[in-house]
Structure 1
Amino acid sequence: MQYKNLGRSGLRVSQLSYGAWVSFGNQLDVKEAKSLLQCCRDQGVNFFDNAEVYANGRAEEIMGQAIRELGWKRSDVVVSTKIFWGGQGPNDKGLSRKHIVEGTKASLKRLEMDYVDIIYCHRPDSLTPIEETVRAMNHVIDRGWAFYWGTSEWSAQQITEAWAVAHRLDLVGPIVEQPEYNLLSRHKVESEYLPLYSTYGIGLTTWSPLSSGVLTGKYKKGVIPPDSRFALENYKNLASRSLSDDVLRKVDGLKPIADELGVPLAQLSIAWCAANPNVTSVICGATKESQILENMKAIDVIPLLTPAVMEKIEAVVQTKPKRPDSYR
């Protein structure tokens, strides 16, 4: 496993990481979570991602209990959570000072931890002034409840505004953004965020490298494996949006490239994300140890992605965003 600094910070995280979205609390309980987390550690993973909204808080409880029962030394791992959707009440969601403080304390209680290493604003909040959010995130850091803060699915403009507030008030700005990034979703990472990397030293912990499993090649037109994510009741609408004829055609076009390299399509897709120098860590999801072991081999695929191979991939997916002239 390789480790990279998260943006300009001194925090080092594994190039591949594990996220609890969908799996913990929906498909897996503590016993299964322990075996998956230990499998990740055995492969060198040190970064584990969560959120207050995952399985309505159950994902944090499972991860916290699993880590405690595994007896891991807390300083050996990097744990993150995200704040935005904490409940049904009018103050249980969003990025107000009230919810950031109360949501963080509730997350730490569920995780059975004194602190998380990174805390994210899970989405932008148009109803709360960014200055209030920046001040609240700094309060969380000052109290020692988190060491760093970041954003998830914010626009470049919103991140820039947060940094402007931080500079003006001599506070800590967001050091990391967590966007979706894969062969089918590229605009933010490869175009919109370009000025942020050099200006603010933003790191990226990207999610959905396999586009919810689409880029494994396991889905066919009208065929959804019963143990897959899209078979879950909550994700059937996502399946209908994600499995278009055009997408399935692109996936079929990628398979010969993976075959030529002698690797599974899933490893090729994860390696492609990790090969982007602006990506710090690629968050992978898995419900089986065998999936983790396969996914982690993507590290060995990165050196195989020569410019010629990357051109072949691009010729199939044709998803590269056009860069604004001013960023060239």
Structure 2
Amino acid sequence: MKQAHTTRQIGGIEQAPIGLGCMNLSHAYGKPPSESESIELLHRALELGVTHFDTAALYGFGKNETLLGRAFKGIRPQIHLASKCGMTGVDGKRVIDGRPETLHRTIDAALTRLNTDAIDLYYLHRIDPKVPIEDSVGAMSDMVQAGKVRAIGLSEASADSIRRAHAVHPITALQTEYSLWSRNAEIAVLDVCRELDITFTAFSPLARGFLANGVTDVNTLLDSDIRKGMPRFQPAAFTENLKLLAQLNTLAIEVSLPLNQLALAWLLHQGEHIIPIPGTTSVAHLESNIAAAQLSLDDAVLERLDAIVNHNTVTGARYPAPTQLEIDTEEFLA
């Protein structure tokens, strides 16, 4: 029997084992909730013991940072706040720009939107292929020296890039998609994070809702939903992936656990340096997700989960080809 820990760490600071990804309160998955509904959810997460809240300049092109700035006004010391730079909205379009001068502008704008003097953890959202990672991380190191940022992270970075960045300034956290159906991190990144004492924050730990039975019919997705363009959610691939979902639901019934909790508990058991950051717009789903931290899973259940959903059984790539070109994380060979 394996037991999930009650706390984990980011840069030596204790955190709840499950954080909150805040993107979908402003961005990506169709129409977001109202500001009042979003603030209610953020406050409920804090009540439930969530300490780590994750946002980015990209999300809602600044709206998500502004939302968190309003939600946590007056109670900022109670949370561990993470945001990201290097990928923002410019004239309504997503732009990757890791130039030092751009990053310095981004941090000042982020601090204003977040209504804070310093960000606890600041990620380079994407590595700009036109800019040496040493230059981008060097600029972020300057932010630490200036007191604007307390720790630096990377997002969607390969093991080699992590090592190069870490040589410039200590990397505190690495954020990449990781779930039962997205295993790229297992190629090299999880190991290098363990070696260098870097926390791994897992985004989309519920496979963009798939592992929570949140998407069972792709025809119901709004045109503004980014999943509409993702290979795994295309009709033919999705039909195949639904077969995996049926097997997962059968297992969930056998062990008397909601599928979302089963998926999150599996992830927590993959390493003590891993903190999942599921996002949601539902308070009920939030409460269910956070409860997964209290679960333990038998080795037999973990093995069955691995056998049902893994790199070889999932149909479709993680991202469309143009987006994949922007990702530095290692990929499985075809």
- List gaps (5 residues or longer) in structure 2: 314-334
Q: 1:133 to 1:218 in 2, by over 3 A?
A: closer
Q: How does 1:294-313 map to 2 (within 5 A)?
A: 294-301=288-295, 303=296, 305-313=297-305
Shift of 1:300: 2.3
Amino acid at match of 1:181: Y
Determine which of 304, 311, 315 is the counterpart of 1:319.
311
Q: Percent identity?
A: 27
Shift of 1:33: 1.8
CA distance in 1, matches of 2:267, 2:280: 17
* Pair 1:173-2:165 in alignment: no
Determine which of 201, 206, 212 is the counterpart of 2:202.
206
> How does the TM-score come out when normalised to structure 2?
0.84
Contact 1:57 1:110 in 2 (8 A): yes
Shift of 1:240: 5.8
Give 1:44's aligned residue: 49
Amino acid at match of 2:197: G
Count matched residues.
301
The runs of 4+ residues in structure 1 deviating greater than 6 Å are none
Shift of 1:217: 2.2
SS at match of 1:297: helix
CA distance in 1, matches of 2:67, 2:240: 38
SS at match of 2:247: helix
Shift of 1:10: 1.5
Give 2:256's aligned residue: 262
Determine which of 75, 78, 82 is the counterpart of 1:76.
78
Q: Larger RCO: Structure 1 or Structure 2 (Cα < 8 Å, ≥ 6 residues apart)?
A: 2
Shift of 1:15: 0.9
CA distance in 2, matches of 1:241, 1:51: 25
Determine which of 127, 142, 145 is the counterpart of 1:142.
145
- List gaps (5 residues or longer) in structure 1: 167-171, 225-229, 322-328
Give 1:192's aligned residue: 188
* Pair 1:125-2:128 in alignment: yes
Amino acid at match of 1:32: E
> How does the TM-score come out when normalised to structure 1?
0.85
Give 1:88's aligned residue: 90
SS at match of 1:162: helix
1:7-45 CA distance string (max 9 Å, x none): xx2122221111111223651233112210111011110
Give 2:116's aligned residue: 113
